[in-house]
Amino acid sequence: MARRLLGATLDAVERAGRTVSDCARAMESVTRQLGDLRQVVQQAADRADPAKLAARLPTATRADADADVSAVADAVSAFANEQRTRRPPQVCSLAVLYKHLAGDYPNLTIGQMHDALRRAASDKRIRLLPFTQALYQLSEPEYALVLGREVMFYVEAV
């Protein structure tokens, strides 16, 4: 009888040991997932930090004032038309547009691009389209243009 009792106790101890090992593996997995989540939250916080956002923006110089808004508006319209013929169903993001314009206008600021966008839109040469997802999903928010209550992030030819 004592032998059976000791055998049953040994089986119970072994089962408890396996359960503890399973729990330890689960805790390691949860700890890894928590670390990944911590990284994602830190990246989101870094992107939302105004000081770090300002550091990513191109700096303005006195030569930036020389950029001609009309010429940039013409370049915006031309690029939007080119994009429409090259990739008809897709719209162009303002980030892609700025990077293209910066090749021709190296001193162009984002604010000057926004002025050119407003001019081209008011002349009905382009259409500005809003970013319709959650704002935290906006990959490059520094290029977005706020018009009224909408965050514009795409442009298309009219």
- Please indicate, yes or no, whether residues 75 and 145 belong to a single structural domain of this protein: yes
100: number of Cβ within 10 Å: 16
How far CA 38 is from CA of 25, 33, 41, 45, in Å, comes to 20, 9, 5, 10
Interatomic CA distance for residues 15 and 21, integer angstroms: 10
* Domain extent at residue 128: 56-157
Q: What is the pTM of this model?
A: 0.57
Q: How many distinct structural domains can be found in the chain?
A: 2
- Please indicate, yes or no, whether residues 9 and 27 belong to a single structural domain of this protein: yes
- Please indicate, yes or no, whether residues 93 and 141 belong to a single structural domain of this protein: yes
pLDDT tens for each residue of 94-131: 999 999 999 999 989 999 999 999 999 999 999 999 99
- Please indicate, yes or no, whether residues 109 and 83 belong to a single structural domain of this protein: yes
- Please indicate, yes or no, whether residues 96 and 139 belong to a single structural domain of this protein: yes
Average pLDDT per run of 10 along the chain, which is 158 residues long? 87 93 93 91 80 60 58 93 82 93 92 94 94 92 93 93
- Please indicate, yes or no, whether residues 80 and 148 belong to a single structural domain of this protein: yes
| CATH code, 112 | 1.10.10
- Please indicate, yes or no, whether residues 71 and 44 belong to a single structural domain of this protein: no
